[in-house]
Amino acid sequence: AVSMTGAQAGILSSDNHGKGRILTIDPKRVFKALDEGNVVVVAGFQGITDCGDITTLGRGGSDTTAVALAGAMQADVCEIFTDVEGVYSTDPRIAPNAVKLDEITYGEMLEMARLGAGVMQPRAVEMGSRYGVPIHVRSTFSDNEGTIIREDYTMKANEHVIQGVADDTNVAKVSVVGVENKPGIAHHIFQSLADKNVDVDMIVQSIRTVEDQKTDIVFTITLDDVVLAREVLDGLKAETKMEEYVINEKMAKVSIVGAGMLGEPGVAAQMFGILGEENINIEIISTSEISITCLIAEDRVKDAIRAIHDNLVIGNRG
């Protein structure tokens, strides 16, 4: 066997240390070692910039490295060995009746990963989709088949309306109060956050009254970015770009994901009805073509997952 660093394996990354992205991979040195009869062990989670600096790739970087390398080498499949049997319809530790999915599309898995499903990181799924390499998520501790992540399903039976329920407790809600209601202000606020690499999600802007020239903007960030966000918002407040801001770190997202929702009216209403029956208040709602996400109080997220999963996922599977 031979070992290689990310740089030796030809992994070129951006210079954003701690959140680096893989730009290109030239695996010629890996192929050369394989041709010589070696088993090649490549260090994940790292790359090298065009200036020669080592950069770490951030959360999920090892899986991302594996998928990207498999894609660059035109492998038939990339196997990710982990501590679970595969991808489940939700966290089995919260909902004991969660079912293992035999297959899931890149799009659905990307949404689930982005919305909090911890078994795969979004960047790794993006790499699989970019290179068209199937990802087989399976257990380190058994020989059982896991879950195949690929472009399309091979079995019609897997095309359920909702594939799974994801949750994310690494969330803070930011309320920016008393913002001038005129062109360019929102751009200034979010550009300032972007300049500090603060990721923003679930944005809602509301006008108080028709006569009032002030507006409020609410959005979510990760808990990891709270300190940076405070620095940015303190600066904006000093510039009188807002009256006040409030950050609530006791929030969580609960989401449903499934390509089948595209042609199925009423799914959102069902989800909101279930949360209402559980007396769970919804703070913000955001949607994509294949997902619906609600921001709720962190201490109610497990109740929300169980109720939604039992009614919308298991209920629809029969």
Which tens digit of pLDDT belongs to each residue from 71-83?
Answer: 999 999 999 999 9
pTM comes to: 0.84
pLDDT at site 157? 47
The burial of 13, by beta-carbon neighbours within 10 Å (0-12 exposed, 13-18 middle, 19 or more buried), is given as: buried
pLDDT at site 180? 87
Which residue type does 288 have?
Answer: S
In the chain, CATH 3.40.1160.10 sits at 2-153
DSSP labels, 262-287: GG-TTHHHHHHHHHHHTT----EEEE
Residue 11, token pair as written in the block: 């992994």
Mean pLDDT of 148-175: 85
CATH number of the 2-153 domain: 3.40.1160.10
**Mode of pairing for the β-strands spanning 78-82 and 54-56:** unpaired
In the chain, CATH 3.30.70.260 sits at 175-245
Helices 61-72 & 122-131 angle (0-180, nearest 10): 10
Mean pLDDT of 11-37: 92
Average pLDDT of the chain, as a whole number? 91
- Could you report the per-residue pLDDT of 219-244, keeping only the tens digit for each? 999 999 999 999 999 999 998 778 99
Q: What is the CA angle 120-126-128, rounded to 5?
A: 85
Residue range 252-317 forms a domain whose CATH class is alpha beta
Q: What fold does the segment set 175-245 form as a domain? A: Alpha-Beta Plaits (3.30.70)
Q: Provide φ and ψ at 227, rounded to 5°.
A: -60, -45
In the chain, CATH 3.30.2130.10 sits at 252-317
- Could you report the per-residue pLDDT of 251-279, keeping only the tens digit for each? 999 999 998 887 788 999 999 999 999 99
Q: Nearest to residue 318, comparing CAs of 169, 111, 97?
A: 97
Query: Per-residue confidence at 201, pLDDT binned at 50, 70, 90?
Result: very high
Distance in angstroms (rounded) separating the CA atoms of residues 186 and 190: 6
- Could you report the per-residue pLDDT of 99-148, keeping only the tens digit for each? 999 999 999 999 999 898 888 888 899 999 999 999 999 999 999 999 99
